[in-house]
Structure 1
Amino acid sequence: MVQRLRPVGLDFVGTAPVRLVFTQDMAATPDAVFHALAEDLSGWPEWFSAVASIRPTEGGREVRLRSGTRATESVLAARAPELYAYRVDTIDVPGARAWIEEWRLAPAGAGTRLRMTFALDGTALFRAVCRLSRPGVGRAVREAVRALDGRLERRPV
């Protein structure tokens, strides 16, 4: 069942009861990474294996994951080339109450240091499952970032 989540702001990234933070260096420049995250939405399924489809909507995105999960999102920040963040507004994940995903980009040598944060809140069971899923989510993010880096190396912006 699709549910509407609490409309939290960017400050929630620092205060969320559950924060899953993953950092990885990339060879691609912050500009190229930002473009792929914020502007090339149709490319997401090519590098993020969990994403089946993603399409822009007025002020946000509609996402369908390969697991069948569907979500609508509002873009909270798109500040090239350092920050791309969005809030999940509706999702069919039981127990979710608030959800933001933040991608921070910083120069690292000739490339980029990417920090991806999932800021989450929900029922006690949802929070526990999120914490337990950290290793799998981390693996998925690392694989996606490596795939994105390879894609950008082949197709520079």
Structure 2
Amino acid sequence: MALRRLRPVGLDFTEDAPVRLVFAARATAAPEAVYRALAEEVGGWPRWFRAVTLARPTRGGAGREIKLVGGVRFQETIMAADPGQRYAYRADETNAPGLRALLEEWRLTPAGSGTHVRWTFAADGPAPFRLALSAARPGLGHSFRTAVRTLDARLTGRRAADQ
């Protein structure tokens, strides 16, 4: 399936998107280490986020190409890269049916000796798409929490539960 262009959105879309799914988890690794894995070691995403089969930087690091299990693809633009604090990207093109706009934001805040990780998945599409995405909330949450556990284990040299 060919990629099609999505509606461009700004960072404020995380606050006013028709569908906002927000998930949180705690990592024992420091915010700087988590940020580095998210934003600077993009090619490593498939090693810790099971849904991702390919991740690579594009346009000199200003964008990303992402492929997911099942064949969904994205061409993205990095919208925010604040070391140790925030990493956000907008999907510009995709082959995902029904999707009109998508912005994802990872917020990192110190939590004791570790990191509180908050992932906001902000999207828009027709009513059936929004309903399906809301129904997918439990699965997306599980995928996120597993990814954070797996990433944390990689960063701290421990073995992740559920692997």
Report the TM range for the smaller structure's normalisation.
over 0.9
Determine the C-alpha separation between the residues in 1 that align with 2:113 and 2:152: 13
Q: Determine if the alignment matches structure 1 residue 120 to structure 2 residue 123.
A: yes
Determine the C-alpha separation between the residues in 2 that align with 1:101 and 1:76: 9
Deviation at residue 42 of structure 1 after TM alignment:
1.4
Counterpart residue number, 1:111: 114
Structure 1 runs (4+) greater than 3 angstroms displaced = none
Instruction: Extract unaligned runs of 5+ from structure 1.
Output: none
The share of aligned pairs that are identical, in percent, is 55
Determine the C-alpha separation between the residues in 2 that align with 1:25 and 1:94: 32
Residue by residue over 1:92-138, the C-alpha shift from the partner in whole angstroms, topping out at 9 and shown as x without a partner, is 11111110010000000000000000000011111011100000000
Q: How many pairs are equivalent?
A: 155
Determine the C-alpha separation between the residues in 2 that align with 1:38 and 1:100: 15
- Aligned partner of 1:128: which letter? L
Q: TM-score, normalised by structure 1?
A: 0.96
Counterpart residue number, 1:83: 86
Q: TM-score, normalised by structure 2?
A: 0.93
- Picking from 59, 64, 80, the partner of 1:61 is 64
User: What are the equivalent positions in structure 2 for 1:33-72 lying under 5 Å apart?
Assistant: 33-58=34-59, 59-72=62-75
Instruction: Extract unaligned runs of 5+ from structure 2.
Output: 159-163
Residue by residue over 1:133-155, the C-alpha shift from the partner in whole angstroms, topping out at 9 and shown as x without a partner, is 00000000010000000000029
SS at match of 1:67: coil
Determine the C-alpha separation between the residues in 1 that align with 2:149 and 2:29: 10
Counterpart residue number, 1:29: 30
Determine the C-alpha separation between the residues in 1 that align with 2:99 and 2:71: 16
Deviation at residue 67 of structure 1 after TM alignment:
1.2
Residue by residue over 1:26-77, the C-alpha shift from the partner in whole angstroms, topping out at 9 and shown as x without a partner, is 1000000000000001110000000001111012000111211111000000
Tell me how large the CA RMSD over aligned residues is: 1.0
User: What are the equivalent positions in structure 2 for 1:92-103 lying under 5 Å apart?
Assistant: 92-103=95-106
